[in-house]
Structure 1
Amino acid sequence: MSMASASYSQYPSPLANYDEVVADPQLFMSSLEKLHSVMGTKFMIPIIGGRNLDLHKLFVEVTSRGGIEEVIREKRWKEVTSTFNFPSTATNASFQLRKYYYSLLHHYECIYYLKMQDCGPPSTGVLESSNTTPGLVHGLPKMPPAQAASVATTLQPRINTIEFVPGGAASSVGNSVIGVIDGKFDSGYLVTVKMGKDTLKGALYQAP
C-alpha cells in the first residue's frame, strides 16, 4: 500500500515543528519513518542515478518554494531537480523525484509544513486538462495511441470509468477501468487505474 493510494480520516500529531525538521536531518528521517510506521505504509530510501536520494534535501527544496502543489503550479519542478546534480545517465530523474515525493513525502508535507489535520490525496487544484495525445504509458497496460488518447481525456481529477479492450482500440465494450489523476508533472500525469481487482500506478506521458 502506498501513501498516495491510502485513505485516512485524520493525521497523527507531528513530533516536531517545521523549522526543527528542516534544521535537523536526523530528526526529519526519524519522524518520517515514524509517520510511515503509524500510517502502515511502506518506507524506503530510493536510489536515483546510482545513489541514495536525499529525502531531507528534497523536502526542504520543495517546501522552501511553497510546497509540492505550488511548485507544480508555478512550473518550478525542473528547478528543484537541478539542485540535485544527477548524472546524465539518470534520464528520468525528474519523474522519479516527483513520484517519490508523492509516495513518501506528500503526507509529511501536509503535517509538518501545511499543518493539516485531515489527510487525503493531493489537491486537484493544480491539475490541468490536456488535449494532447499521450505518447507513452508507464506502469499501465499497453494500448494503441487512440486508446491512450481516450484515457488521457477521460481521466480527470475526479474518478471516472473508462473502457479498455486489451490489444484493441477503444470500444464501448470491454473491461471496466477506473482511473484517477494523482498529480501532474512537466511531461504528463501520475495516474492510478483499477482493472478489476488490480490497482496499477504509473505515468501517462504527453507526446511532444
Structure 2
Amino acid sequence: MTSTDDLSQIQVASANGSSSDNNKTNSDSSRITTYEDLVQDSNLFWEKLRDFLGYTDKPLTVPTVEGKSICLHKLFKEVTARRGLERVIKDRKCSEVIATFGLKTPITNASLVLKKHYVPMLFKFEHVYYLKKPASSFAAREEELSGLLGKSANHDNALQAGTAVDVIIEGKFNNGYFVRVKMDSKELKGVVYRLESPSRKKKSKSDPKKPKSHRSGYNFFYSENYERLRPHFVGKGQLLTQTIGKMWRSLSKSDREVYQEKGRKDTERSRKEISEYRSLMASRAATDAAAAAETAVATDAAMNDETDESESDAAMNDAATASEEAE
C-alpha cells in the first residue's frame, strides 16, 4: 500500500510536477523524469531542483567556495558519479570532488564544504532521483549522514603517522608566533600562542634593575599599531593580532626596514645594559663575599675572647676554692 508521502513524492519525480508542464501532451506528462535525464539536461535539472526546493518564484542562490561559484548541476553529477554522498565520504573522496572545480587554494576541510552546500540543496534531491527512494525514508538516511560527517571531519583534521610536517615562523608577537605549516601537499596558516607554565608563575620576581630583553622590529610595529587599532577590536584580541600580522607581511621592504633598524638598535642597547648589569652583579657578589668573610673572622675572634674569659674565670674559681680548703 502506498502512503500519502510516497504519492506526493511520485508527483515530484514526474515530468508534470511543475506547473509549467500543464500544457504538454498526455504522453509527455506521463513520462517519469529519470536521473539520466537530469544529468544530461542542465535546464531540466534546474527546473526540477527549483520545484523540489520550492524556489518556483525566486532564483536559487549559487554557492561559492574561495570566491568561486559552485555549479550545483556539476556538483550533483560529481557526487552521484561516485555513488552518492555517503560513498564519497566513506571513500574519502570529498577533496577529489571539490578539486574538479579548479579552486586556486586547496581545500583542507572538503567534507565540511559538502555538508554546507550539498546537504541542504542536493542531498534529498539525490535520495529521490538518484537512489529512487521515497521521501518517507529520507529522515533515517539523514540521521546516519550526521554521524558519518562527524567522523569525516575528525579524519580531515587528524595528523596521520609518518606525515612530513614543516613549520615556518613568519612573525612574532608578545604571546606567540605567526606560523605556516606544510603537511605533505597541504599548507595551513595559523597562530601559535606561548603559554606560561604554572611553575614559572610561582617563581619570585626578577631583579627590577635587570635590563629588559631586546625587542624585534615586528615587536615595535605590533606595539605601535596595537594601541591604535584596539578600540576597533573590542573582545576580538585574536582577530586584532591576525590583522596586525597581515599588515606586517604587506609592508614594503623599505617600510619594514625602518622597524628592523629599531630592532637592531634595541639589540645593541640590550647587550650593553646586560654586560653592565653582569659586571655590577659580579662586583656586588665580590663585595658581599668580602663582607661575609670579615663577619666570619670577627665572629671567630669574639668566640675566642669569650672562651678565654670563661677559662680565666674558671681558673680564678679553682684558686679561690683551694684557698678556702687550706684555711
Q: Which moved more, 1:15-24 or 1:84-93?
A: 84-93
Q: Which moved more, 1:86-95 or 1:96-105?
A: 86-95
User: Which of 97, 104, 127 is the equivalent residue of 1:87?
Assistant: 104
Q: 1:46–1:53: 8 Å Cα contact kept in structure 2?
A: yes
Query: 1:33-182 residue pairs with structure 2 within 5 A?
Result: 33-37=50-54, 43-88=60-105, 94-119=111-136, 120-121=138-139, 123=141, 181=147
Bigger radius of gyration, 1 or 2? Answer: 2
Runs of 4+ aligned residues of structure 1 deviating over 4 Å after TM superposition are 89-94, 124-127, 205-208
Aligned to 1:131: none
Correspondence 1:26 to 2:25: no
Q: Cα–Cα, structure 1 residues 75 and 117, in superposed 2: closer, same or farther, change >3 Å?
A: same
Deviations 1:136-178 (A, max 9, x none): xxxxxxxxxxxxxxxxxxxxx6xxxxxxxxxxxxxxxxxxxxx
Distance 1:78 1:34, change over 3 A: same
Number of residue pairs the alignment of both structures matches: 133
Could you tell me the percent identity over the aligned residues? 30
Aligned partner (choices 173, 188, 201) of residue 154 of structure 2: 188
8 Å Cα contact 2:94-2:110 kept in structure 1: no
TM-score (norm 2): 0.35
1:13 alignment partner, SS class: helix
Q: Distance in 1 between matches of 2:124 and 2:94?
A: 18
CA distance in structure 1 between the partners assigned to 2:140 and 2:62 by the alignment: 22
Provide structure 2 residue ranges, at least 5 long, that are not aligned to the other structure.
Answer: 16-32, 160-327
State the 1:60 CA deviation. 0.3
Deviation at 1:9, TM superposition (A): 4.5
Q: Which runs of 5+ in 1 are unaligned?
A: 1-7, 128-156, 158-180, 190-204
Superposed CA RMSD in Å reads: 3.5
Please give the TM-score of this superposition, normalised by the length of structure 1.
0.52
- Give the direction of change, closer, same or farther, for the CA distance of 1:125–1:102 in structure 2 (3 Å limit): closer
Larger RCO of the pair (alpha carbons < 8 Å, separation 6+): 1
The alpha-carbon distance between structure 1 residues 183 and 121, as it changes in their structure 2 partners (threshold 3 A), is: farther
Question: In the TM superposition, what is the alpha-carbon distance from 1:19 to its structure 2 partner?
Answer: 0.6
- Structure with more strand by fraction: 1
